[in-house]
Amino acid sequence: MTKITVIGSINLDTNLRVKQMVKPGETIHAKEHYSAAGGKGANQAVAATRSGCEVNFIGAVGNDAPGKEMLGLLKQEGIDTSGVKVINNESTGQAFITVDDAGQNSITIYSGANSGFNADDVAEKRDLLGQSDYVIAQFETPVEATIKGFEIAHAEGIKTILNPAPAMTEIPSALLKQTDLIAPNETEAATITGVQVRDEESAKKAAAKLHALGVEAVIITIGSKGAFYDYNGQSELVPAFKVKAVDTTAAGDTFIGAMTSILKTDFSNLKEAIIFANKASSLTVQRYGAQPSIPYKKEIEQVD
């Protein structure tokens, strides 16, 4: 069983379903309102767990009702939350998500406790990191904490995966030097490299720039077109599975968690792992909510 440690965010999501996105100065009615567990880190941890991984989590929540609820849900998934810091006088992170009838979303995040842990907190969890095959991180938590986690991982011979979301225009070189695989979507890749990713050709140009920054393996997800990879002299756009999307929330997080669940640490089965991840994401976008939409391994294996 693959063992993963996720360094990342934990949010309570507030979701609104609307016919179309609100315009500046406009007031509209929502068709539905509901809350769900979210946060890119927690989503990726849940996706990996449901795909068959053993998962540890390093992050933070507030000492409040949402924090207790989010921790309880992670524990129900079988995720080890001993690395999650509970912070007094700070609220658990929250995300406010609007989804339109086309399945597109708009997300506003309040970081809250997600900004409240640091490199020292991660260093204290060296034992958790040392048990892992992979360490995964995103950009919804302090980058200094991620750098420390990746440094520890590399010192232990553990592979690192960076999902650079939300995108930074300049990722610290100290982090990129410790990153084995980077997996942005097309928008994030454009922000980082300056290359507008629309197809396989432009994705390869963006990948070349990411390699030049020091990352060995690159995956760029391109929405409904699929996922492009460039590694060890091989590159290809792996097509997505064609489905009707109703909500794209957590699709990228599902991709990361599911892919890592079957990825060999020498990346020799990268294409196979991407196909598996594409299957998982195709299920996620047909459902509403973040973690409620993430599929289980049995469901993924039934996708043709």
Residues with a catalytic annotation lie at: 253
The answer on whether 247 is annotated among ligand-binding residues is: yes
The answer on whether 298 is annotated among ligand-binding residues is: no
Q: Is the peptide bond before 164 cis (omega within 30 degrees of 0)?
A: no
The answer on whether 39 is annotated among ligand-binding residues is: yes
Measured distance CA(268)–CA(91) in Å, rounded: 42
Q: Which residue has the tokens 């890119």?
A: 40
Measured distance CA(218)–CA(247) in Å, rounded: 26
The most distant pair of C-alpha atoms in the chain lies apart, rounded to whole Å, by 53
The answer on whether 13 is annotated among ligand-binding residues is: yes
Strand, helix or coil at 98? strand
The answer on whether 116 is annotated among ligand-binding residues is: no
The answer on whether 9 is annotated among ligand-binding residues is: no
The answer on whether 80 is annotated among ligand-binding residues is: no
The answer on whether 125 is annotated among ligand-binding residues is: no
The answer on whether 278 is annotated among ligand-binding residues is: yes
Q: Which of 198, 8, 177 has the alpha carbon at shortest distance from 84?
A: 8
8 Å CB contact between 37 and 50 = no
The answer on whether 12 is annotated among ligand-binding residues is: yes
The answer on whether 230 is annotated among ligand-binding residues is: no
Sequence-separated (6 or more) residues with CB below 8 Å from residue 72: none
Two structure tokens written together for 56: 């540890």
**DSSP secondary structure letter of residue 115:** G
Alpha helical stretches, state H, 95-142: 119-123, 126-130
The answer on whether 15 is annotated among ligand-binding residues is: no
The answer on whether 25 is annotated among ligand-binding residues is: no
Strand, helix or coil at 230? strand
Which helix (H) or strand (E) is 112 found in, with range?
none
The answer on whether 140 is annotated among ligand-binding residues is: yes
Sequence-separated (6 or more) residues with CB below 8 Å from residue 266: none
Between vectors from CA 269 to CA 49 and to CA 6, what angle results, nearest 5°? 30
The answer on whether 11 is annotated among ligand-binding residues is: yes
Q: Which residues are annotated as a binding site for K(+)?
A: 247, 249, 284, 287, 289, 293
Binding residues for substrate: 11-13, 39-43, 140, 253
The binding site for ATP consists of 185, 221-226, 252-253, 278
- Annotated binding residues, written as ranges, equal 11-13, 39-43, 140, 185, 221-226, 247, 249, 252-253, 278, 284, 287, 289, 293
